[in-house]
Structure 1
Amino acid sequence: MSSWLTLVESPEDMIFILELVYIFLLLVGPTVCLCPNQCACNAVSGFVNCREKGFTNVPGGMGADVDYINLGNNNLTKITTQSFQRFRRLHYLTLDNNHISDIAELAFENMRELRVLNLQWNSLKFLRKGVFRGLINLQDLRLSYNSLRKLGFLNEEDLYSLQTLYLDRNNISTLNSLTFAHLHSLKFVHLEYNRLSAMEDGIFSGSLDVEHVLLTGNKINRMSPASFKDLRTLRSLNLDVNQLSSVNFETFRNIKSRYTNLYLDSNPWHCDCDLQRTFNKIHLTKNLHIVRYEELACHKPGEVRNVTLKALGTNFCVAETVTILVITITVVVAVVAAVVTTERNRRQRMQNSPHIASI
């Protein structure tokens, strides 16, 4: 302290330094002092940590210029238009592991600087259209582990900056061409463990630069040839643990990415010549790669159940073709024999009956 005081050469210098300290305290004072009871606040980072404090409502007493609010693991049940309207500079908002079942329309309208919104592990069954209006800089939206069924709320023009979307482990059963229509910056889509049964045309027509689509653990048994059409940067498509028994080569050929990893393990494949030809075409397509192909196993027919597609080799298709050919020849021979026998019997009847012969 004494060495610091030696720098003060006059009372004017001391007054000047005190004025600087006063101005500094005015600037940081609200961030330091405005901290809700039970929470921990960091003035430097602007971090307000109110995690696991038993709050049933958003607590007051926070400075409007905070950067990060963590309200996870509390007992919040709803978000109103008043809950966060003051936090115009907020970048990160964590609300996971609450009991939130209702979020008001325009609840986040004033939070134009928000980058990450975490709503995982709540009780959301639906979200109103317009609930995310105003979030023009949102890049990461986390809605995993809820009970959402419909995704109309994503049809929002203000979400054009969204890059990562977590929708895994909900009750989503359908997607359509409007679902991601305005998500032009989308890169990662997590849809694992929902109730999807089909992939229709043009689902990603508004998000042609998506890079990773995760559909693991659904009930998908049908995919349109245009489901992933014209995706330009798709790096991975995960369809593990679904109900696919066959696939159309066009579904994958329509992907326009330079290189795409396909995950197709743990599906009930019906192994026949058509399936083998499809996978052979995929192998010959330079921009497509089946990950863990050696683990893909047949489910039907019974004689090849649990045998891998790779183990079947080309002989399986040859054998099937020979079998079909033998069956076809056998049927033709049987038909010809039946015709010959019928004709022979007819002639014998004519010879044995003079009346018929005279006619």
Structure 2
Amino acid sequence: MAAVTTSKATKEEVTLLLTLTASSPSRDNPTPLPSPPSCSVSTSRPLHVDHRQEVKQEETQEQLQSGTMKELLFLLLLVVMETSSRSNSSWCRQGCDCGGDLKFTICSRAHFTHLPSRIPPTTELLDLSDNNISVIPERSFSKNRKLRVLILQNNNISVVEDGCFSHLEFLQKLDLSWNRISTLTEGFSLGLVFLRELQLAHNRLTSLDSRSFMHLDGLQRLNLTCNSIHTIQVRSFSSMSTLRQLHLQNNQLTALRSGIFSMLRSLEVLNLAGNQISETEMGVFKPLTSMTLLNLADNQLSTAYFKTFLSIHTYSTHILLEGNPWNCDCDLQRVFRKLRSIQRLFLDDYYNLTCKEPPVLKDYRLMDVELCLAETVTVLIITITVVITVLAAMLMGERKRKKKKRESTGHSRESSRTSRTIKTHLTLFPLKYLHPLSLQFSVSDTDGRMTSMFLFSSSF
């Protein structure tokens, strides 16, 4: 009724102003100017009339009339604005500010302990942040079906009843960050078919399952940063085929199992930084056919498997791995060497990766460790094989030479058989896997006298 009374008062005021405007001078109906004094005609000499003075008087009068019109229009505008303000205040609860033709309702820091009951039904943006609201009851926004943005951050919300957002079919952004929400039921997302962005950062969520986001078919951005999530069940995000950004940083995840990211074909950004991830199954990233950024920094990864990242089939994917306790063994070096050779994968922070194991390489950059132990062993095996072949050839040649000499001299004495023993001494100086390798071979007869020695050294 207050709104109707205000509307009537507005019409009366506008009518009054229009009446005043009509009765005031205007350019279309100017007030008649006093006729110039009549000039008596003399039979002897006619009088001269100055028409320029008349024109100047008319222009002055028109300027006065125009100024009066501007003042009246300005007063009319003030009346309309005041009327609109009174109308808004009649709809808004104390502590709220309504504007934009009642499309914006700001109730931030109003010390509310529950949702306000008087919200303009035309509201499209409702800001209830920084209050003390603890419960979102069922059918809370049944009279605000036009809402597009709902901000409830930084309250004390711990209970979100089933169906509380079921009437918000046009809602596109819902901000519930910085609250105390510990669980999400199937009824939480009921009715949010067209929701595009959901903010749940800084809450108390511990696990996610297939019911958590059952009805969020159109969601594009999901922020779950800074919760206590340690378990994500298979197909928890299966209904989000249009999701583009998933933020899970600073939680308590320890492993990534195959199937938890299934159906996320449109996902472009996956942020898993700041967790406790130490294990990733090989097929966990395979469904992410659109991923452009994978952030695994600041976790507990000590090793990596080539096939885990090879399963990412996007055209261009940037991978962040800094801040993990890498074990810089031969396998890890081989994996990173292969990953860097794949053109569609970009290890943006490779030059910042540092080793934690083995102790001799602690705090060394991975890129500075150029030779792994397995490669050293391979080189040694090849080298020993070559040396033994050379020594065998030398021994055979020596035997043939002595045989020919005995045949030429005709001596019939039986030459004592000389047994040859090959002793191989291998010395390896493994200082940070970068020091030279030295191989020493000696050949001696049965009396222990050394007949030949071969020294081979190589540096890598």
Taking structure 1 as the reference length, the TM-score comes to 0.80
Letter in 2 for 1:296: L
Provide the residue aligned with 2:149 in structure 1: 92
The residue aligned with 2:170 is 113
- SS of residue matched to 1:277: helix
TM superposition shift of 1:176: 2.9
Amino acid at match of 1:64: P
2:210–2:234 CA contact under 8 A, matched in 1: no
Instruction: Give the one of 272, 292, 295 matched to 2:329.
Output: 272
Q: Rg: which structure is higher? A: 2
Tell me the distance in 2 between the aligned counterparts of 1:138 and 1:53.
27
- Do the aligned residues in 2 keep the contact of 1:208 with 1:230 (CA within 8 Å)? yes
Counterpart Cα distance in 2 of 1:300 and 1:283:
22
Q: 1:56 aligns with which of 113, 119, 123?
A: 113
Q: Which of 226, 231, 246 is matched with 1:169 structurally? A: 226
Residue 4 of structure 1: how far off its partner (Å): 7.4
Residue number in structure 2 paired with 1:144? 201
Counterpart contact for 2:185–2:212, Cα < 8 Å: no
Deviations 1:161-206 (A, max 9, x none): 1000010111111123221000111001010111100001122211
**1:280-334 CA deviation, whole Å, 9 max, x = no partner?**
11111111011111000011000001111111124676346558999xxxxxx99
Structure 2 contact 296–320 (Cα < 8 Å) conserved:
yes
Contact 1:133–1:156 (8 Å) recurs in 2? no
Partner residue of 1:223? 280
Q: Structure 1 segments of 4 or more deviating over 2 A?
A: 1-9, 25-33, 152-158, 313-326
Summarize deviations over 1:26-80 as a string: whole Å, max 9, x none: 9999766411111111133711111011100111221112001111110000100
> CA 1:30/1:8 → structure 2, altered by over 3 Å: closer, same or farther?
farther
Which of residues 226, 230, 245 is equivalent to 2:302?
245
Report the CA distance shift for 1:80/1:325 in structure 2 as closer, same or farther (over 3 A): farther
Asked if 1:201 corresponds to 2:226, the answer is no
Cα shift at 1:268: 0.5
Structure 1 residue corresponding to 2:365, chosen from 296, 303, 308: 308
Q: Which residue of 2 aligns with 1:126?
A: 183
Distance 1:260 1:282 in 2: 12
For the aligned residue pairs, the C-alpha RMSD in angstroms reads 2.9
Of all paired residues, the percent bearing the same amino acid is 32
Judged with a 3 Å threshold, the aligned counterparts in structure 2 of structure 1 residues 324 and 64 are, in CA distance, closer, same or farther, namely farther
Distance 2:280 2:189 in 1: 30
Q: Structure 1: which amino acid aligns with 2:155?
A: N
8 Å Cα contact 2:139-2:165 kept in structure 1: no
**1:72 alignment partner, one of 112, 117, 129:** 129
Structure 1 residue 158 displacement after superposition: 2.4
User: Are the equivalent residues in 2 in contact too, given 1:273–1:320 (CA < 8 A)?
Assistant: no
* Structure 2 gap segments, 5+ residues each: 1-16, 30-81, 384-423, 426-460
Equivalent in the alignment of 1:343: none
Gaps of 5+ in 1: 10-24, 327-332, 335-359
Q: Which residue, out of 245, 250, 258, partners 1:188?
A: 245
Q: How far did 1:152 drift?
A: 2.8
CA distance in 1, matches of 2:347, 2:379: 29
CA contact under 8 A between 1:130 and 1:153: conserved in structure 2?
Answer: no
**Aligned-partner residue type, residue 257 of structure 2:** E
Q: How does 1:318-357 map to 2 (within 5 A)?
A: 318-319=375-376
